Amino acid sequence: MIIHKIYGVYFSPVKNTANVVKKMAQDLGRELNLPVEVIDFTTPEKRTGSWSFKEDDLVVFGTPTFAGRIPNKILPYVQTLFEGKETLAIPVVTFGNRSFDNSLIEVKNELENHNFKTFAAAAIACEHSFTDKLAKERPDREDIRQLEGFIREVAGLLQDINQKEDIISPVQVPGEHPLTGYYVPLGIDGQPVQFLKAKPKTVEEDCDHCGVCAAACPVAAIDFSDEAKVPGTCIKCQACVKLCHSGAKYFDDEKFLSHVRMLEENYTRRAEPEFFIGNEKREY
Protein backbone atom coordinates (compact mmCIF):
# COMPACT_ATOMS: atom_id res chain seq x y z
CA MET A 1 0.00 0.00 0.00
CA ILE A 2 1.45 3.35 -1.01
CA ILE A 3 -0.59 5.36 1.51
CA HIS A 4 -0.56 5.08 5.30
CA LYS A 5 -3.00 7.70 6.57
CA ILE A 6 -6.20 9.32 5.34
CA TYR A 7 -7.24 12.90 6.10
CA GLY A 8 -10.72 14.38 5.69
CA VAL A 9 -10.36 18.17 5.37
CA TYR A 10 -13.30 20.53 5.03
CA PHE A 11 -14.85 23.98 5.25
CA SER A 12 -18.52 23.46 6.10
CA PRO A 13 -20.77 26.10 7.73
CA VAL A 14 -23.99 24.04 7.61
CA LYS A 15 -22.31 20.59 7.86
CA ASN A 16 -23.31 19.03 4.51
CA THR A 17 -19.71 19.08 3.32
CA ALA A 18 -18.47 17.91 6.72
CA ASN A 19 -20.79 14.88 6.61
CA VAL A 20 -19.82 13.96 3.04
CA VAL A 21 -16.05 14.37 3.56
CA LYS A 22 -16.07 12.55 6.90
CA LYS A 23 -18.01 9.64 5.41
CA MET A 24 -15.61 9.41 2.46
CA ALA A 25 -12.50 9.51 4.65
CA GLN A 26 -13.92 7.07 7.21
CA ASP A 27 -15.20 4.59 4.62
CA LEU A 28 -11.87 4.72 2.78
CA GLY A 29 -10.08 4.18 6.09
CA ARG A 30 -12.25 1.14 6.79
CA GLU A 31 -11.83 -0.31 3.28
CA LEU A 32 -8.06 0.19 3.35
CA ASN A 33 -7.57 -0.49 7.06
CA LEU A 34 -5.82 2.86 7.59
CA PRO A 35 -6.07 5.53 10.31
CA VAL A 36 -8.22 8.60 9.60
CA GLU A 37 -7.86 12.18 10.86
CA VAL A 38 -10.39 14.97 10.35
CA ILE A 39 -9.37 18.63 9.86
CA ASP A 40 -12.16 21.22 10.04
CA PHE A 41 -11.15 24.75 8.95
CA THR A 42 -14.66 26.27 9.08
CA THR A 43 -14.22 28.85 11.86
CA PRO A 44 -11.43 31.34 12.60
CA GLU A 45 -10.34 29.58 15.80
CA LYS A 46 -9.70 26.44 13.74
CA ARG A 47 -7.57 28.32 11.22
CA THR A 48 -4.73 29.34 13.52
CA GLY A 49 -2.29 26.73 12.20
CA SER A 50 -1.39 25.36 8.79
CA TRP A 51 -1.08 21.78 7.58
CA SER A 52 1.63 19.97 5.61
CA PHE A 53 0.87 16.52 4.29
CA LYS A 54 3.29 13.70 3.54
CA GLU A 55 3.90 11.68 0.40
CA ASP A 56 2.14 8.66 1.86
CA ASP A 57 -1.01 10.51 2.98
CA LEU A 58 -4.34 10.64 1.14
CA VAL A 59 -6.38 13.83 1.52
CA VAL A 60 -10.14 14.09 0.87
CA PHE A 61 -10.62 17.87 0.60
CA GLY A 62 -14.09 19.45 0.48
CA THR A 63 -15.83 22.80 0.31
CA PRO A 64 -19.39 23.80 -0.54
CA THR A 65 -20.23 25.61 -3.79
CA PHE A 66 -21.00 29.30 -3.23
CA ALA A 67 -21.97 31.22 -6.41
CA GLY A 68 -20.48 28.44 -8.53
CA ARG A 69 -17.05 28.54 -6.89
CA ILE A 70 -15.11 27.98 -3.67
CA PRO A 71 -16.61 30.54 -1.20
CA ASN A 72 -14.57 33.61 -2.14
CA LYS A 73 -13.77 34.72 1.43
CA ILE A 74 -12.47 31.20 2.13
CA LEU A 75 -10.31 30.88 -1.00
CA PRO A 76 -7.31 32.63 0.65
CA TYR A 77 -7.31 29.97 3.39
CA VAL A 78 -7.51 27.16 0.83
CA GLN A 79 -4.54 28.81 -0.88
CA THR A 80 -2.35 29.30 2.18
CA LEU A 81 -3.12 26.73 4.89
CA PHE A 82 -2.48 23.45 3.06
CA GLU A 83 0.63 22.05 1.40
CA GLY A 84 1.13 18.59 -0.08
CA LYS A 85 4.24 16.65 -1.03
CA GLU A 86 3.03 14.90 -4.16
CA THR A 87 0.21 13.87 -1.78
CA LEU A 88 -2.70 11.98 -3.35
CA ALA A 89 -5.90 14.02 -3.07
CA ILE A 90 -9.61 13.76 -3.83
CA PRO A 91 -11.29 17.16 -4.43
CA VAL A 92 -14.92 17.18 -3.27
CA VAL A 93 -17.64 19.81 -3.46
CA THR A 94 -21.22 19.87 -2.29
CA PHE A 95 -23.85 21.97 -4.07
CA GLY A 96 -27.48 22.83 -3.43
CA ASN A 97 -29.16 21.30 -6.50
CA ARG A 98 -28.62 24.28 -8.85
CA SER A 99 -25.11 23.53 -10.19
CA PHE A 100 -21.54 23.17 -8.97
CA ASP A 101 -20.41 25.19 -12.01
CA ASN A 102 -16.67 25.79 -11.42
CA SER A 103 -16.25 24.88 -7.76
CA LEU A 104 -14.85 21.39 -8.36
CA ILE A 105 -12.30 22.50 -10.94
CA GLU A 106 -11.30 25.34 -8.62
CA VAL A 107 -10.70 22.98 -5.68
CA LYS A 108 -8.78 20.63 -7.97
CA ASN A 109 -6.63 23.48 -9.35
CA GLU A 110 -5.87 24.86 -5.90
CA LEU A 111 -4.82 21.44 -4.61
CA GLU A 112 -2.55 20.91 -7.61
CA ASN A 113 -1.04 24.38 -7.12
CA HIS A 114 -0.09 23.24 -3.63
CA ASN A 115 1.64 20.04 -4.59
CA PHE A 116 -1.24 17.59 -4.29
CA LYS A 117 -1.75 14.87 -6.89
CA THR A 118 -5.50 14.72 -7.65
CA PHE A 119 -6.76 11.45 -9.13
CA ALA A 120 -10.48 11.21 -8.23
CA ALA A 121 -13.18 13.82 -7.51
CA ALA A 122 -16.83 14.12 -6.55
CA ALA A 123 -19.61 16.73 -6.58
CA ILE A 124 -22.45 15.80 -4.22
CA ALA A 125 -25.92 17.39 -4.34
CA CYS A 126 -27.07 18.34 -0.82
CA GLU A 127 -29.93 20.31 0.70
CA HIS A 128 -29.48 23.97 -0.24
CA SER A 129 -28.43 26.16 2.69
CA PHE A 130 -30.95 28.83 1.58
CA THR A 131 -34.09 26.62 1.39
CA ASP A 132 -35.18 23.06 2.06
CA LYS A 133 -37.25 23.16 -1.13
CA LEU A 134 -34.04 22.30 -3.00
CA ALA A 135 -32.62 18.81 -2.43
CA LYS A 136 -34.38 18.42 0.92
CA GLU A 137 -32.52 16.00 3.21
CA ARG A 138 -30.05 14.99 0.54
CA PRO A 139 -27.77 13.15 0.22
CA ASP A 140 -30.47 10.45 0.36
CA ARG A 141 -30.18 6.66 0.08
CA GLU A 142 -29.66 6.73 -3.68
CA ASP A 143 -26.90 9.37 -3.36
CA ILE A 144 -25.23 7.33 -0.61
CA ARG A 145 -25.43 4.18 -2.73
CA GLN A 146 -23.60 5.98 -5.56
CA LEU A 147 -21.09 7.57 -3.18
CA GLU A 148 -20.29 4.16 -1.68
CA GLY A 149 -19.77 2.72 -5.19
CA PHE A 150 -17.28 5.51 -5.86
CA ILE A 151 -15.49 4.95 -2.52
CA ARG A 152 -15.16 1.22 -3.23
CA GLU A 153 -13.72 1.89 -6.70
CA VAL A 154 -11.20 4.39 -5.30
CA ALA A 155 -10.20 1.95 -2.53
CA GLY A 156 -9.75 -0.86 -5.09
CA LEU A 157 -7.60 1.39 -7.27
CA LEU A 158 -5.36 2.31 -4.34
CA GLN A 159 -4.99 -1.35 -3.33
CA ASP A 160 -3.99 -2.33 -6.86
CA ILE A 161 -1.15 0.12 -7.45
CA ASN A 162 2.47 -0.15 -6.30
CA GLN A 163 3.60 3.40 -7.09
CA LYS A 164 1.92 6.78 -7.62
CA GLU A 165 3.04 6.83 -11.25
CA ASP A 166 0.51 4.03 -11.90
CA ILE A 167 -2.36 6.37 -11.14
CA ILE A 168 -3.86 8.76 -13.72
CA SER A 169 -3.39 12.30 -12.44
CA PRO A 170 -4.60 15.02 -12.50
CA VAL A 171 -8.27 14.06 -12.43
CA GLN A 172 -10.36 15.62 -15.22
CA VAL A 173 -13.47 17.48 -14.04
CA PRO A 174 -15.90 19.84 -15.78
CA GLY A 175 -15.45 23.59 -15.49
CA GLU A 176 -13.89 26.60 -17.13
CA HIS A 177 -10.20 26.93 -17.79
CA PRO A 178 -9.17 29.63 -17.02
CA LEU A 179 -11.90 30.49 -14.54
CA THR A 180 -13.94 33.61 -15.27
CA GLY A 181 -16.44 35.11 -12.83
CA TYR A 182 -18.79 33.90 -10.14
CA TYR A 183 -22.39 32.84 -10.77
CA VAL A 184 -24.57 35.97 -10.72
CA PRO A 185 -27.70 35.36 -8.61
CA LEU A 186 -31.02 36.16 -10.28
CA GLY A 187 -34.21 37.41 -8.70
CA ILE A 188 -37.70 36.01 -9.28
CA ASP A 189 -38.02 38.30 -12.34
CA GLY A 190 -34.91 36.73 -13.92
CA GLN A 191 -32.83 39.88 -13.45
CA PRO A 192 -29.48 39.87 -11.58
CA VAL A 193 -29.76 40.76 -7.90
CA GLN A 194 -27.02 41.94 -5.52
CA PHE A 195 -27.38 41.09 -1.85
CA LEU A 196 -23.77 41.41 -0.75
CA LYS A 197 -24.78 43.65 2.15
CA ALA A 198 -27.53 41.33 3.46
CA LYS A 199 -26.99 40.29 7.09
CA PRO A 200 -28.89 38.07 9.53
CA LYS A 201 -31.45 39.82 11.72
CA THR A 202 -32.31 38.73 15.26
CA VAL A 203 -35.69 38.38 16.99
CA GLU A 204 -34.28 39.90 20.16
CA GLU A 205 -36.91 38.49 22.55
CA ASP A 206 -36.09 34.95 21.30
CA CYS A 207 -32.29 35.36 21.58
CA ASP A 208 -30.92 33.96 24.85
CA HIS A 209 -27.37 35.19 24.11
CA CYS A 210 -25.90 31.69 24.11
CA GLY A 211 -23.27 32.78 21.56
CA VAL A 212 -23.70 29.72 19.29
CA CYS A 213 -24.27 31.94 16.24
CA ALA A 214 -21.16 34.06 16.85
CA ALA A 215 -19.02 30.97 17.44
CA ALA A 216 -20.37 29.26 14.28
CA CYS A 217 -19.80 32.24 11.98
CA PRO A 218 -16.94 31.27 9.61
CA VAL A 219 -15.89 34.92 9.17
CA ALA A 220 -16.43 36.20 12.75
CA ALA A 221 -19.02 38.68 11.47
CA ILE A 222 -21.28 38.48 14.58
CA ASP A 223 -20.49 40.44 17.74
CA PHE A 224 -19.86 38.00 20.63
CA SER A 225 -21.02 40.51 23.26
CA ASP A 226 -24.26 41.36 21.41
CA GLU A 227 -25.30 38.73 18.87
CA ALA A 228 -27.85 41.04 17.27
CA LYS A 229 -24.97 43.16 15.94
CA VAL A 230 -23.22 42.02 12.78
CA PRO A 231 -20.29 44.40 12.27
CA GLY A 232 -18.39 42.09 9.91
CA THR A 233 -19.07 41.09 6.31
CA CYS A 234 -21.64 38.28 6.25
CA ILE A 235 -21.11 35.54 3.63
CA LYS A 236 -24.75 34.36 3.79
CA CYS A 237 -23.69 30.80 4.70
CA GLN A 238 -26.75 30.38 7.02
CA ALA A 239 -24.76 28.77 9.85
CA CYS A 240 -26.23 31.23 12.39
CA VAL A 241 -29.79 30.66 11.13
CA LYS A 242 -29.50 26.85 11.14
CA LEU A 243 -27.62 26.49 14.43
CA CYS A 244 -29.68 28.92 16.54
CA HIS A 245 -31.68 26.62 18.80
CA SER A 246 -34.39 29.23 19.41
CA GLY A 247 -34.85 30.13 15.73
CA ALA A 248 -34.00 33.78 16.46
CA LYS A 249 -31.96 34.46 13.29
CA TYR A 250 -33.45 35.26 9.90
CA PHE A 251 -32.79 37.13 6.67
CA ASP A 252 -35.29 39.70 5.42
CA ASP A 253 -33.26 41.29 2.62
CA GLU A 254 -35.74 41.57 -0.28
CA LYS A 255 -33.16 40.81 -2.98
CA PHE A 256 -31.86 37.78 -1.13
CA LEU A 257 -35.42 36.47 -0.65
CA SER A 258 -36.18 37.12 -4.32
CA HIS A 259 -33.17 34.96 -5.27
CA VAL A 260 -34.37 32.19 -2.94
CA ARG A 261 -37.82 32.33 -4.59
CA MET A 262 -36.17 32.12 -8.01
CA LEU A 263 -34.25 29.00 -6.92
CA GLU A 264 -37.45 27.45 -5.56
CA GLU A 265 -39.25 28.16 -8.86
CA ASN A 266 -36.54 26.85 -11.16
CA TYR A 267 -34.26 24.33 -9.45
CA THR A 268 -36.41 21.69 -7.81
CA ARG A 269 -35.57 19.02 -10.45
CA ARG A 270 -33.18 16.39 -9.16
CA ALA A 271 -29.51 17.23 -9.79
CA GLU A 272 -27.38 14.08 -9.69
CA PRO A 273 -24.07 13.67 -7.88
CA GLU A 274 -21.09 13.41 -10.24
CA PHE A 275 -17.98 11.27 -9.86
CA PHE A 276 -14.65 11.31 -11.68
CA ILE A 277 -11.65 8.98 -11.67
CA GLY A 278 -8.56 9.80 -13.75
CA ASN A 279 -9.85 11.12 -17.08
CA GLU A 280 -13.26 9.46 -16.91
CA LYS A 281 -16.64 10.37 -15.51
CA ARG A 282 -17.88 7.35 -13.56
CA GLU A 283 -21.43 6.16 -12.84
CA TYR A 284 -22.63 3.82 -10.09
Ligand X SMILES: Cc1cc2nc3c(=O)[nH]c(=O)nc-3n(C[C@H](O)[C@H](O)[C@H](O)COP(=O)(O)O)c2cc1C
Question: Which residues of this chain interact with ligand X, rule CB under 6 A?
Answer: 12-17, 64-68, 94-99, 126, 128-130, 183, 236-238
Of 13 and 84, nearer to ligand X (C-beta) is 13
Of 137 and 189, nearer to ligand X (C-beta) is 137
Of 183 and 284, nearer to ligand X (C-beta) is 183
* Residue sitting closest to ligand X (CB): 96
Of 40 and 55, nearer to ligand X (C-beta) is 40
Instruction: In angstroms, give the least distance from the CB of 167 to ligand X.
Output: 28
Instruction: In angstroms, give the least distance from the CB of 281 to ligand X.
Output: 18
Of 117 and 138, nearer to ligand X (C-beta) is 138
Instruction: In angstroms, give the least distance from the CB of 145 to ligand X.
Output: 19
Instruction: In angstroms, give the least distance from the CB of 99 to ligand X.
Output: 5
Of 126 and 214, nearer to ligand X (C-beta) is 126
Instruction: In angstroms, give the least distance from the CB of 168 to ligand X.
Output: 28
Q: For the residues of 27-57, what is the DSSP string, one character each?
A: HHHHHHT--EEEEE--SGGG-SS-EE--TTE
Instruction: In angstroms, give the least distance from the CB of 139 to ligand X.
Output: 9
Q: For the residues of the chain, what is the DSSP string, one character each?
A: ----EEEEEE--SSSHHHHHHHHHHHHHHHHHT--EEEEE--SGGG-SS-EE--TTEEEEEEEE-BTTBS-TTTHHHHHHSEE-SSEEEEEEEEE-SS--TTHHHHHHHHHHHTTEEE-EEEEEE---TT-TTSSTT-S-HHHHHHHHHHHHHHHHHHHH-SSGGGS--SPP--S-SS---PPPPB-TTSSB---TT---EE-GGG-----HHHHH-TT--S-SS-TT---S------HHHHH-TT--EE---HHHHHHHHHHHHH--S-PPPEEEETTEEE--
Instruction: In angstroms, give the least distance from the CB of 98 to ligand X.
Output: 3
Residues 6+ apart with CB under 8 A from 132: none
Of 117 and 128, nearer to ligand X (C-beta) is 128
Report whether 142 contacts 270 (CB < 8 A). no
